[in-house]
Amino acid sequence: MQSLTMRGFRRSDRRAVLALIAADRLPGQPRPTATALVSALAARGPDGRPQARALQPPVTEILLDERRRITGVISYALRPYDDAGVVLWAHAAEDPSTMAVLMGWARVRLGPDRPWYAFPGIPATGTTEGLAGSRRPATTHALRTTGFTAIAERRYWNRDLRRNPPTGPLPRPLATAAPQHGPAASCSGSPERTALRPPKPASTPRTAAPPTCTAS
């Protein structure tokens, strides 16, 4: 019987935890940095905003094997407004037994009978919300065997620009970027005037004459 130990995250664990996170990266995701880890420990995303709404301060704990090596890490929190437990992120090199221990530990710590959500937001160490089902089979299995089901799914796409660069001429007319205001901003007028504006002289400030956009 292995002797496993759970304890709170310590600053000295950073390197090992970053290695566990890096091992679960998807193609295109940046290598996690120490700064990103600090944000993730505070349940913040890459843009500094909270990873999920109205959470209590998250708890991050690590799992040590009998040789005191770090084999897994999990960050979880209580969300008082709906009394839900939230698994923010967890990494264990996709070892099934380690991930099962981590998930079971978090549920026991916060109460197994409360509703639970897992991987609801974008951690600072990644660029996507949700758990990658194919690349994280042990984590997915650990969730499903404890009664979790997928409630929102997104597809993640990648294009390798070095192996497969765009060819042909740059498509014209050039679109110009302009800030959109509000969560449901929309453009009015013809697409030719708004979405596809003709190229401007180089001296024209980029912020001048934005497309006709209104927030709705």
Partner 1 sequence: MAEADRSRGLGRHLLDQCLFHAARTGAPRLTATTDATDLHAPAVRLLSRSGFTPVDTLAVHHRPGRPAGPHNP
Q: 5 or 173, CB closer to partner 1?
A: 173
The torsion of the CA quartet 78, 83, 84, 90, rounded to 10 degrees, works out to: 10
Is the Cβ of residue 12 or residue 158 nearer to partner 1 in the bound state?
A: 158
Residue closer to partner 1 by CB (options 11, 162) is 162
What values do phi and psi take at 8, rounded to 5?
-65, 150
Among 88, 156, 87, 86, smallest CA distance to 122 is for: 88
> In the complex, what is the shortest distance from the CB of residue 12 to partner 1, in angstroms, rounded to a whole number?
31
Token pair recorded at residue 63:
């799992």
Q: Which is nearer to partner 1, 10 or 114 (CB)?
A: 114
Q: Least separation, in Å, of the C-beta of 170 and partner 1?
A: 5
Residue number, 170 or 208, with CB nearest to partner 1: 170
Report, in Å, the least distance between residue 144 CB and partner 1: 8
Q: Where does this chain bind partner 1 (CB under 8 A)? A: 26-29, 83-84, 112-120, 127-135, 140, 143, 146-162, 164-166, 170-171, 174-175, 186-187, 191, 195-196
Give the separation between CA 117 and CA 23, rounded to whole angstroms: 23
Tokens of 163: 């192996």
Q: What is the DSSP string of 24-67?
A: TPPTTPPPP-HHHHHHHHTTB-TTSSBSSTTPPPPEEEEEE-TT
CB of 4 to partner 1, least distance (A): 23
CB of 178 to partner 1, least distance (A): 13
